[in-house]
Amino acid sequence: MAEDEELAAGLRAGLVRELVARGELTDPRWLAAFEEVPRELFVPSYYVGAPGGHRRLSRDDPDPRARDAWLSGVYVDEPLATYVRGGELISSSSQPSLMAKMLAALDLHDGHTVLEIGAGTGYNAALLAHRLGDDAVTTVDLDPEITDAARAHLAAAGFHPTVVTGDGALGCPSCAPFDRTMATCALSSVPPAWVAQSGPGGLILAPLATGLIALRVADATHAEGRFLRTPAFFVPLRGAAVPPPPDRSGLPWRLLSSDRFQFLLTLSRMAPADALALWHDEGRPPRERYGVTVAGDRQWAWLDTPEGPWRWPLGREISSGGA
């Protein structure tokens, strides 16, 4: 084994040990996937913050110290900015610990098929293909530059799932139905196509309002579920309507720095005074007390029960794609 491969293998083993020690990798099948899929093949370069903008780290840097810095960063438990256009983050490789939590939450079983929205680098699709096989995995992204790169990365690692260039909000009808749909881009509502392309009893896992909603599908137009306790921050579904930031005027710093309260504000779009009243009256509710219902052309978020007193309509995505 070449010296750089030995270093990568050691760093990968170290990251896996860290995730296991924190209880974020418990299923032996996902443990094997993280041990055996080389993340460095999926992030040949990425960007880190630097004075005045971003600095690019690459495996092709002629400076061996810079190459070592690149490889070391690949196996730090942090998200990696992989595609920046005009100073805007377009695509990234998610934080490995968050990926592990999301994959575990999918509750996958042998024979399941998965639709991933947001191909990114292809690393997550590789983990899924390692677990289920190439034929069970479809990943979609809007940008052909991203899907071309993801396809090449996957092939280099020995995986060949279906990689589709297209509008992520439309899913992939030619490969449907899916047992699981997993989005790695932030939403303001659930695209109806994802529900329609899920089989009965299917599961949709998606970032919404800095949380992760897990929706169980009843039929082609109905789904419902609760948020996981895990915070989640992703690049928005590109092409979708991005709502303005919630009003935070007049709020004390302790609430502005509260992750739970910020989740409530972002989900409900309530006026600060109303959000503050709910926050105190309901005992500072954690994410897992909130849920979402999709019923035909209606979608709403709720606290505790779908028909309870605290409900908020969700906006509908307009043209969109993967992240």
Does the structure show a pLDDT above 50 at 323?
Answer: no
Query: Is residue 77 in a domain?
Result: yes
Global pTM reads 0.92
Q: Cα-flanking dihedrals φ and ψ of residue 101, to 5°?
A: -65, -40
Last residue of a domain, one of 166, 190, 214: 166
User: If you average pLDDT over residues 209-231, what whole number do you get?
Assistant: 96
- The enclosing domain of 124 has a CATH number of 3.40.50.150
pLDDT at 319: 30
In terms of pLDDT, which residue wins out, 241 or 229? 229
- In the block, residue with structure tokens 């409530």: 264
* Confidence at residue 42, expressed as pLDDT on a 0 to 100 scale: 97
The pLDDT tens digits for 106-139 are: 999 999 999 999 999 999 999 999 999 999 999 9
Is residue 203 one of the residues assigned to a domain?
A: no
pLDDT of amino acid 174? 97
Could you please report the per-residue DSSP string of 147-174? HHHHHHHHHHTT---EEEES-GGG--TT
Quickly list H helices, the chain.
3-21, 28-36, 64-74, 96-105, 123-132, 144-156, 192-196, 253-256, 259-268, 272-281
Structure tokens given for 106:
């999918």
pLDDT at position 226 over 90: yes
Q: Which domain holds residue 16?
A: 3-166
Provide the domain count of the chain. Answer: 2
For residues 38 and 159, membership in a common domain is answered with yes
Residue 311, C-beta contacts closer than 8 angstroms, at least 6 positions apart = 300, 301, 302, 303
Tokens of 66: 């810079």
Boundary (domain end) residue, out of 166, 195, 219: 166
Active site residue 257: no
Choosing from 58, 72, 91, 94, the catalytic residue is: 91
The confidence score (pLDDT) of residue 254 equals 85
291 assigned to some structural domain: yes
